[in-house]
Chain A
Amino acid sequence: MTVTPASSGEHEAQGPASGKGKLELRNVNKGYGEAWERQEVLTHMSLTIAPGDLTAVIGPSGCGKSTLVDLIAGFERPDSGEILLNGEPVTGPAHDRMVVFQETALLPWLTAYQNVAFGPKLRGDLKGEALDAEINRLLDKVGLAEFKDKYPIQLSGGMQRRAELARAMINNPLIMIMDEPFRGLDAMTRELMQEFFLKLFEETRRTNLFVTSELDEAIFLADRLIVLSNRPTSVRETIEIGLPRPREFHMLSSPEAFKYKRQAMEVLHEEAMRGFTRSGDQQAFLDAYRKGDEAQSDG
């Protein structure tokens, strides 16, 4: 399969910010549960996602990656701290932040075409022939022109992800949030999707937050790699990935890539070990938190 983004003279509809959002998290905290069994998920989380960059976020399993996505997307509100998109606080879900979900979230009762049309039609900001042309252009770009009248269930896993990319891109968001988007695909499809997605990104340079649990994927795609700590989660390390663009798969075996990989692996291993030993002592862990809460309320 060779589906490459059509590199014609056409470009994404250029809005005032042209898909270059700057996202900032300032000292964000988020936890769940009643006071007496509270589990902190994110703590003192501060990070900046630079406009036009692809920032990958990686962390040990069970750290607050999905919670981070939920907060930035606006599905959940932080307990304290600020989330700012181009300086404006995030208050709920909106089409300036598009999420591409873990498992496909294409609406199964709509065809590929109707799914892509969904957002613009609801908001009414693109209509009639202009909308039709834009949908067809994007579906063509992701290689689904022939499949536009198929329902999601009739598409393969890779096609579903590409349809979802088209559905997100048509809204011209300031930032794309990818929550382990290629999880569940077989290795071969996954590699092709990474390549495809990378070309798409390098063409548009739309600000992207890419959450993943695959280190190779993160290094291959990202300008910057943020390694999260174990729960309660905060930023553990930030690694600038200096591999040249356009990226090629063979760059992953360069000594430079190796250096990044080792650097990230060391931190990840340490964090994973921390979580591993602690989960054996869950009760002590909870007790420690209870004490922490009490101390806070006493103080």
Chain B
Amino acid sequence: MSEPVAGQPQPGVTPVQGPPAGLGMFLYKARKNLTGSTPYLMMGGIGLWLLTWWLLCEVFSVPRFEKMPGPVAVLSELFSVEPFLGISVFTQEYYQHIYLSCRRIFFAFMIATGLGVPLGLFMGWSKTVRDYAFPILETVRPIPILAWVPLAILMFAGFEAPVIYLATLASFFVTTLNTLLGVDSIDESYFRAAGCLGAKRRHIFWHVVVPGSMPFIFTGLQISIGVAWFSLVAAEMVSGDGGLGYLIVDAYMNNVTVPMVIGMITLGFVGWITSALVRLVGNRLMQWRVRALALEGR
């Protein structure tokens, strides 16, 4: 029997001290991360990728790659104080594009989450709501975001609204569907246990449906913010005024490839950070889930 007797120190075992606080915790985590293989493999992967890119484009100029900008060209432009083509980390325009795209993503993601999560929860919780909404959702969902672009431009005036609308639409479906799946994934015995303990229908919604679907909701939100980035760029390409998608298509129009690649890399990087943020919030809200995964060694 592995259960320790409560409150009695085991002989021969030094009592475990509590977790270190503040800076101590930070240093502990940093040391733990640096002793693992993860950061080195990550750096190795990036290095290998840069090397391949460099060899293909700049060293051997392999056919089909000779017109592509190589990593040296891109990085020296990206980090130059006076960029030849107008975009680098030292220009204000660079940050203006990032800011514009991020702001659009923020609104689109917030609206999509604010609508999609409640709708998904209600669809999972009530068969009536599901019967109403599911057919429409499934019909509209497969329509590609690009097909919506003309309608979005007709519907909304200006530059911001159509872009935000399109990104919202794309991420809304992902969020709703994942939330619905999250409710479906909850084990029947939790509903029964709650019923037994005297939970009314509204209690079951707040105390079983909402927390029980959280893991799926946050998986969905990570996907949905990625989808928001896809569609945002597509939208900015068609009807944009600034933003990373606009930067890419503008460079293409002007026949310069380096800013285009700078736009692409930046987009990937910012997108990665946003989904990491969503994951962070999810872990904060689901301590029970974090413990469960930790016990499985993940």
Contact = CB atoms under 8 A, between A and B. Distances in A.
Contacts of B199: 122
Interface residues of A, number: 40
Contacts of A48: none
A283 to B, nearest CB: 31
A110 B193 CA distance: 13
A118 B204 CA distance: 11
Contacts of B211: 107, 109
B195 A93 contact: yes
Given A109-B286, A119-B197, A153 B292 contact: yes
Task: Name the prevailing secondary structure of the B interface residues.
Answer: helix
Contacts of A167: 197
Contacts of A154: 291, 295
Interface in A126-165: 143-147, 151, 153-154, 156, 158-159
B37 interface: no
Contact of B6 (A108, A118, A122, A143): A143
Nearest to A153: B292
B14 interface: no
Given A95-B197, A151-B291, A171-B197, A159 B3 contact: yes
A118 B207 contact: yes
A45 interface: no
Contact of B198 (A75, A94, A103, A147): A94
Contact of B3 (A73, A75, A158): A158
Q: Which of the listed residues A95, A122, A159 has the most CB atoms from chain B within 10 Å of its own CB?
A: A122
Contacts of B192: 73, 75, 93, 99, 101, 105
A20 interface: no
A105 B212 CA distance: 13
B1 interface: yes
Given A93-B195, A99-B193, A154-B291, A146 B214 contact: no
A98 interface: yes
Contacts of A98: 196-197
Given A107-B208, A154-B291, 11 more contacts: A1-B5, A101-B192, A107-B190, A107-B211, A109-B289, A122-B197, A147-B6, A153-B295, A158-B1, A171-B198, A188-B1
Interface of B: 1-3, 5-7, 187, 189-190, 192-200, 203, 207-208, 211-212, 214, 286-289, 291-292, 295
21 contacts: A2-B5, A73-B192, A75-B195, A93-B196, A95-B198, A105-B192, A107-B193, A107-B211, A108-B288, A109-B212, A109-B214, A118-B197, A122-B198, A122-B200, A122-B207, A145-B7, A151-B287, A151-B291, A153-B291, A158-B3, A159-B3
